[in-house]
Amino acid sequence: MVNRGYTSHANNHLRANNNGHRSWRSDPNWGGYIEQVKVDLKAPCEDLPYLSMDEEYTIIIDDFQALLSSYSVWGMLRALESFSQMVVLSDDGSMLRINSTTIYDGPRFSHRGLLVDTSRHFIDTCTLVKILDGMAYNKLNVFHWHIVDDHSFPYESRTFPELSQQGAYHPSMVYTQADIAHIIEEATLRGIRVMPEFDTPGHTRSWGISHPELLTECYDQYRGKLGPMDPTRESTYTFLSNLFREVIEVFPDRYVHLGGDEVGFECWASNPNILEYMKQNRLYSFEMLEEKFIQRIVDQIDVLKRNSLVWQEVYVNGITRDGLPALLSSCWYLDHLSTGGDWRKFYNCDPHDFIGTGKQKSLVLGGEACMWSEVVNGHNILPRIFPRVSATAEKLWSPASVNNADEAARRLEEQTCRMNHRGIPAQPPNGPGFCI
Give, in degrees to the nearest 5, the angle at Cα 211 between 169 and 151: 30
State the angle between helix axes of 405-421 and 2-16 in degrees (0 to 180), rounded to the nearest 10.
90
Residues of the chain with pLDDT under 50: 14-25, 318-321
Residue 201 within a domain? yes
Per the CB < 8 A criterion, the answer to whether 178 and 167 are in contact is no
Residue 435 within a domain? no
- 9's enclosing H/E stretch is helix 2-16
Q: Are residues 259 and 163 in the same domain?
A: yes
Q: Are residues 133 and 83 in the same domain?
A: no
At 223, is the secondary structure helix, strand, or coil? coil
pLDDT tens digit string along 297-336?
999 999 999 999 988 655 555 444 456 778 888 888 998 7
Q: What is the CA radius of gyration of the chain?
A: 24
Domain boundary residue, one of 45, 72, 105: 105
Q: For the purposes of burial, counting CB atoms within 10 Å of the CB of 280, is it exposed (0-12), middle (13-18) or buried (19 or more)?
A: exposed
Strands (E), 118-181: 142-146
CATH code at position 58: 3.30.379.10
Q: Are residues 354 and 416 in the same domain?
A: yes
The pLDDT value recorded for residue 319 is 41
Sheet arrangement for strand 111-117: 307-309, 255-259, 193-200, 142-146, 111-117, 364-371, 326-328
Domain boundary residue, one of 81, 105, 129: 105
- Determine the structural domain holding residue 48 and report its residue range: 30-105
Q: Are residues 362 and 405 in the same domain?
A: yes
The pLDDT value recorded for residue 354 is 77
Catalytic residue among 162, 213, 249, 262: 262
Q: Are residues 85 and 227 in the same domain?
A: no
**290 noted as active-site residue:** no
Q: What's the predicted TM-score (pTM) here?
A: 0.92
User: What does the alpha-carbon distance between residue 349 and residue 331 come to, in Å, rounded to a whole number?
Assistant: 7
Q: Are residues 101 and 169 in the same domain?
A: no
User: What does the alpha-carbon distance between residue 416 and residue 405 come to, in Å, rounded to a whole number?
Assistant: 16
Domain boundary residue, one of 105, 121, 152: 105
Q: Are residues 226 and 295 in the same domain?
A: yes
Query: What are the residue ranges of helices labelled H in 176-283?
Result: 177-189, 207-210, 234-250, 265-270, 272-280
User: What does the alpha-carbon distance between residue 130 and residue 419 come to, in Å, rounded to a whole number?
Assistant: 11
Residue 52 CB partners (closer than 8 Å, separation 6+): 110
